[in-house]
Structure 1
């Protein structure tokens, strides 16, 4: 099989070129993941899509093909939480504490991701290590961590080596591609509830539309810290997504008057564990954690998510969160 028919559809020229439909996109990604596509054709396809702008149908088709190449039937998280931000504009990944709160509330969380350009910034995996969140080297370990701790981080290179290789093409092409959005939409276990962060606001709607085509039931997408699903407590946050499979929009109002950037000059991953343990007093960071957890709980259909998140934080050191 060849990518030529799909490159031809995208690149015929003004007045003749068009976007791929969902089935065509799925077929094209199947060719890529089969290993039979010429690297030149892969680059041409991805850059043509970047030039015109990817559609929700194209993204949904790519995700369908990617899911069919991933075997995660043994994993059963309640919440899918992708983490693929570039990291250049953010500091500590406080959202990891939010994910821990959600897991302690009885909703297993599957974190998965890859974070590049992390020089002078706190890596998400460093944060996981500081908090004792298992970074799974294989699917069996991920399954055990979900069962025992209710949370795990599955690296993209473990989850799907072919998708990881496609994401790494940014180093050769010099530009992001639609694969950066595909991995956010991946939800490899087809979990009913998912949260997603974006850096560019325009992607909030297209990711919600693509998720609807994929049959997603509950989804919250926000412009978060550095592109992660992380709520800034001093700003009103617009949320887009799905509830019961239908389009939804929400708004989280500012919690604090303090104006502060999420990034710090020299972030120290040990501060994550210190805040969790109660050794660090940082009301702003605590507000980030509680506010982000509240949005995730709302996605899961939890009643009164703001007060629930506050209660979870207050009782986080009990064996079973209240």
Structure 2
């Protein structure tokens, strides 16, 4: 699939020395030391990641490449090139349009994944939300797929299944392994390597369906500028990055939230920041455990959770502003609160059915 980025004339790619593996030049570019190493340009990064995705690189080279990138830290051009390669291989069907690209790769540890309810409210408001993510790469975290299964929602393992779910419910979750299996394998290397790699950043930027809005939750604020710049290079109409609770796209209502935004304006891009004030004067105590039953009780109204409900409403409000469905923070919070108040409380009954995977 062609990217929606504006690309310049391709630059010459590095050539291997006689007898070398074709991927060796990319390890050498990164590993020559403080004075000799450099960042790859976009074309080089695209070619290197393409080789990895096609299975043309040895495992030892992949490990060296990812950790050298980790030490150097990825550049915006490198991330854009990596995403170009992934999008080349994603091949979604034509005509599959969505409003919001929502990535879910971190998992939750401290609080329940309240953002799942925000997705439901956004879908009820008429926004088409495409979710992609990965799970299981970090121990002791709760991932969106398990919560969706507990609430009886299907997971899409093909583009046709995702399109069908989108038409039925205005949102669909497709695991990374369903459209970029090699990339999913690289994410699973985290417990083996002991460190995150650039794969965790580039996965959030894939936007395989070219949604006009790309929302991202990150854990480390210094990465916000990198994601803004990468989104511009990729030509995305609007990218909004927050430091999400646990690294997911979820607002912690106990804290002020800063939105790092990049948006197209005429022929160029505008980079800006917007602050949302905290909603409570005193912080809430985190729960002892995360349980789907507790989330269901909050949804059906049999249990009150001040923190959880505020997280749902304020996360929804943030997305409404970024999607252009609300013109101000105050309007968005009012609209999100109304969506929450008018939700179908008996939607899930008193018990969950087993989730069924779509194929």
Give the TM-score band, short-chain normalised. Answer: over 0.9
Q: What is aligned with 2:16? A: none
What's 1:161 paired with?
A: 181
Q: Is the 8 A contact 1:122 1:269 kept in 2?
A: no
SS at structure 2 position matched to 1:69: helix
- Residue aligned with 2:131, SS: strand
| Deviation string, structure 1 residues 173-216 (Cα, Å, up to 9, x no partner) | 22211001111111111211011111111111111111111111
Corresponding position of 1:46:
66
Deviates more, 1:7-16 or 1:126-135: 126-135
Aligned to 1:287: 310
| Residue 227, structure 1, aligned to residue 250, structure 2 | no
Which residue does the alignment assign to 1:12?
Answer: 32
Contact 2:253–2:311, Cα closer than 8 Å, also in 1 = yes
Residue in 2 that maps onto 1:277: 300
Contact 1:136 1:152 in 2 (8 A): yes
2:136 and 2:243 mapped to 1: Cα distance?
18
CA distance in 1, matches of 2:225, 2:49: 22
- Aligned equivalents of 1:252, 1:72: Cα separation in 2: 35
Q: Which residue of 2 aligns with 1:175?
A: 195
Q: Secondary structure at the match of 1:212?
A: helix
Larger Rg: 2
| CA RMSD between the two structures | 1.9
Distance 1:186 1:109 in 2: 14
Q: List runs of 5+ in structure 1 lacking aligned partners.
A: none
- Kept in 2, the 8 Å contact 1:198–1:222? The answer is yes
Summarize the alignment of residues 125-140 of structure 1 with structure 2, pairs less than 5 Å apart.
125-140=145-160
Matched with 1:314 is: 341
Mapped contact 2:107–2:141 kept (Cα < 8 A): no
Gaps of 5+ in 2: 1-20, 346-359
Partner residue of 2:280?
256
Conservation of the 8 A alpha-carbon contact between 1:242 and 1:248? yes
Contact 2:133 2:176 (C-alpha < 8 Å) held by counterparts: yes
Aligned partner of 1:146 in structure 2 is 166
CA distances 1:139-177 after superposition (whole Å, capped 9, x unpaired): 222111101101121112213111111111223322211
Separation in 2, partners of 1:159, 1:272: 30
Say whether the 8 Å CA contact 2:238–2:262 is kept in structure 1: yes
Distance 1:54 1:118 in 2: 21
Could you tell me how far 1:117 is from its partner in structure 2? 5.6
User: For this pair of structures, how many residues does the alignment match?
Assistant: 317
Q: Does 2:108 correspond to 1:59?
A: no
Pairwise mapping of residues 166-245 of structure 1 onto structure 2 (< 5 A)?
A: 166-244=186-264, 245=269
